[in-house]
Amino acid sequence: MEDHYTILKILNNNVVIAIGENQQEAVLIGKGIGFSKKSGDRLEETNVDKLYVLKDEEKQHQYKQLISEIDESIILVMNDIIQLSEQKLNVQFDEHIHIALTDHIAFAIKRIQQGMDIVNPFLKETQLMYPREYAVAEEVVEVVHRETGVYLPDGEIGFITLHLHSATTSRSLSDLNKYSQLMNSLVQLIEQQLDISLDKGSINYVRLIQHLRRGIERIESGEQVGSQHKLAKVLKDEYPLCYNTAWKLMKVMQHQLGKKASDAEAIYLTMHLQRLSSQ
Amino acid at 25: E
What pLDDT does residue 226 have?
A: 60
What pLDDT does residue 268 have?
A: 83
Asked if residue 260 has pLDDT above 60, the reply is yes
Asked if residue 144 has pLDDT above 80, the reply is yes
Q: Which residues pair with 3 in a beta bridge?
A: none
Query: Out of 54-68, 92-106, 150-164, 177-191, which region has the weakest mean confidence (pLDDT)?
Result: 54-68
Question: What residue segments make up the domains of the chain, in order of their start?
Answer: 1-67, 70-170, 181-278
The pLDDT tens digits of the residues spanning 172-197 come to 888 888 888 899 899 999 999 999 98
Note whether 1-67 and 70-170 share their fold.
Answer: no
Cβ atoms 226, 159 nearer than 8 A: no
* CATH code for the structural domain at 1-67: 2.30.24.10
* CATH code for the structural domain at 181-278: 1.10.1790.10
Give the architecture-level CATH label for domain 70-170. Answer: Orthogonal Bundle (1.10)
Residue 138 confidence class, pLDDT cut points 50, 70, 90: very high
C-alpha angle 98-104-107 in degrees, rounded to nearest 5: 125
Mean pLDDT of 219-246: 82
Mean pLDDT of 118-125: 82
Angle separating helix axes 154-168 and 173-194, nearest 10 degrees: 120
